[in-house]
Chains A and B, each alone.
Chain A
Amino acid sequence: MSKVKMAVDLGGIQMRNPVNTASGTFGNGVQFEGFYDVGKTLGAITCKGVSAEPWDGNPAPRLAELRGAAIMNSVGLQNPGVHGFVKRYGEYLESVRSRGCAVICQVAGHSVEEYERAMDLFEEFAPFASGFEINISCPNIAEGGAAMGATPQSAARVMSAVRTRTKRPIVVKMAPHDVAAIGHALEESGADALALINTIPGMSIDVRTRKSRLARATAGVSGPAIHAIAVRMVWECAQAVNIPICGIGGVTTAEDAAEMILAGATAVSVGTANLTDPLSAKHIVEGLEEWVASQGATDVNDLIGAFEC
C-alpha cells in the first residue's frame, strides 16, 4: 500500500476511505461477505432503508433493464422495521463496525412523525450505527419519500425534526432536483452531510401491452447512464453548502468515483454497479488510491472539489 492518506470525515462519520455503498444496492452488507471482507475493505456501508414498522414494499415487477446502461427499480423500501432489522442484522453490523468500516443506517418514513419514530427506535436499539441517512427522496413510495424532500421547506421540516432525536451524524439522501436550494435548507436545519443523488424518476412502457414494464407507472432510473447528471448535481450542491457531500449516481469505476470527488464529494457511494459486478466497490477502493497517487497528492482530501472550471 502506498502512503496516500485516504481517510475522510463525512460530517462526523469517520471513513477509512471515501467508498460507501448506496442504500438498497448492497443488502445490509452480509450478502457481500462472500465476495470480499466488507468490514476490512470499505469506508462505510449504508444499509437498506428501514421504517419504524415493517413495510411490504411494492408489488412485482419491481425491476426493468433499459438499453443504454441503466435499470429502473420500484422496490418501495421493503423492510422488516427497526426491531426486525436490528434483530436480523445487528450482530453482523457490529462486526462490520469493529472491522473499521462505518455503518450508516437509513431511516425511512411516510410523514415527519414516522421519521421521528423510526429515528427514536434506531437511537435506542442501534448502537452499532455510526450515523444515519434520512431518505427524503425515494421515488417509489406513495406518501413521504420524495414528497418530503421536494421543496427546501418540506426537507427542512423533516431534518429539524430528526435533529432533535439524535446526536449522531445525520446525512440526508436527496432527490435529483433543486439540489443547491434544498441542500442549503438542509444544512441550515442541522444536517451534517448530504448524499446525492437518489434515482431519477422515469418511465418504461411496454408498447405491446401499453402498460408499464414495472408494477408502478414510474420508477427510479439508476446506473452508468445517470452518472454525468449526478456529477453535475454534486458540483452544483457543493458550491451551495459547507457540509460534506457523498456523491452517488452511476459510479462504476474508480475514475467515476474520482470525478465525484473532483466535483466536490467527500465520499462516494457505489450503487447499481454492485449488481453488475459485486466486486465493484472493492475495485473502486483500490483504484481510487492509485488515482490520488497519480495526481501527485498525498491526501485524498486535497482533491475534494479540485475540479478546474
Chain B
Amino acid sequence: MSDTIELLEAIGRNATLRHASVDELASILEQAKASEALKSAVAAGDSSLLSEEFGHQPNRVPQITNAPGHEEDEPDHDGDDKPHRPPDPGHSPPHKRTPHKQ
C-alpha cells in the first residue's frame, strides 16, 4: 500500500492531479495502490473518511481574538481598543546584549 501522506503531497503539487476528476483520480489511486481510506475519501468527496486511517479529531482553528481589548494585558497600556503600532521590522533595542539566533 502506498503512503497516503506522500500521495496527498504528490496530488497537491501536480497541476493535472490537483484538478483531476473523481474518476480520473480514482483510477490513478488504484494504480498507485492507495489506501482504502484515501480511495473512499476521493470517491465520496469526503475527506473526513481519512480519519479512519489516521484517527484524527478535527483541529481547532481560531488563532485570534475578536476584540483588540482582549489582547493586551500589560498594565501600562493606554487604551485597550486603540490600534497598536506594529513592531519595527528587523530592529531590536540597541541596549540589549542577548545573543542573536536565527
A and B together in one complex: no
Residues on B facing A (Cβ under 8 Å): none
The interface of chain A, by Cβ under 8 A from chain B, is none
